[in-house]
Amino acid sequence: MQELRLNLITREWVIIAKERAKRPEDFRVKSERPALPLYSETCPFCPGNEKRTPPETFSLKDEKAWKIRVMPNKFSALSLEGERMRGNGGIKRNLSGVGIHEVIVETPFHNMTTAILPLSQVEDILRVYRERFVEAYKDPRVEHVIIFKNQGERAGTSIEHPHSQLVGLPVTPIQVRMRMDEGIRFFDDTGDCLMCKTLKDELQEGTRIIMETEHFVSFIPYAALSPFHMWVFPRRHNPSFSGITDEEINDLARIIKTTLGKVYYGLDNPDFNYTIRSMRPVFGNVEFFHWYLSIVPRVYQTSGFEMGTGMYINMALPEDSAGFLRSIDVK
């Protein structure tokens, strides 16, 4: 029989299609991809093509050249200049589209992906994330900052060169508000952080755990919305990504690289998205929310059912998917 599971953090129901479930290895990418070059003359993010991008706002360099570059998105979703102005007339609500939209070029090499980057480079990327995250919140127009990565065409990227994006929004998105509301509701009811409770229960059961390190755990949630949908949770309760320590960054780099490596080798390098879900930098203890990283390999195409209901059909058992990834040795 099929089973419906409720994700308590997102409050989303998902159908776990047990009778239609595929084996984990059936989700391997079957299309042949051409090998990417180390350098592309037409790529604006490759070394030597810096004039094709807006001037950088931040960079990390060694004695030879840049390692990571940050610049405004040339095709920004928001306007950097201007004031945040709210409109309210009848049923119409609007807000001036001001904010921050940056591109973080993760490496000089055109043909890389996170799974095969040197560990030190992944550590540097995360340090840049933290620096830009904190900096973005200094803008009084910004209410919420999201850091995300689109890797591959199915994940929505338009440029192959490895990069992430940061967007500082003048509003707090409904997805974020809903997670906070659920966290507050659960805390009021139980006195516990919903994310901490989720992590505790997942560790106790163990069947959906992918990898554990000193400071982080990667796992497939009990009610994963799609095949191989993964979360990386800090063990330490911390509401904001801004509070991550240097030691935790090094540990996070290792678990991200290894977890994505298992996907890279186990599923033949599928496209993927990842997102850091976090509150703004806070002072004092916020007990109801806990930042985390969400990773979604694009091995399944959503359809009209998902669009019409807001529910998902997961064709892979989370327990089987996690067991499969645990079995993959990363080179």
Burial (CB count within 10 angstroms: exposed 0-12, middle 13-18, buried 19+), residue 66: middle
User: Strand pairing partners for 104?
Assistant: 70, 164
β-strand 66-72 against 100-105: which pairing, if any?
A: antiparallel
Q: Pick from 278, 12, 321: which is nearest to 132 by CA?
A: 278
- Given its phi and psi angles, is residue 137 left (phi above 0), alpha (psi -120 to 50 degrees) or beta? alpha
Catalytic residue check, 101: no
Tokens 């998205």 sit on residue = 273
Burial of 259 (0-12, 13-18, 19+ CB in 10 A): buried
Burial of 174 (0-12, 13-18, 19+ CB in 10 A): exposed
| Catalytic residue (one of 110, 144, 161, 163) | 163
The residues annotated as belonging to the active site are 163
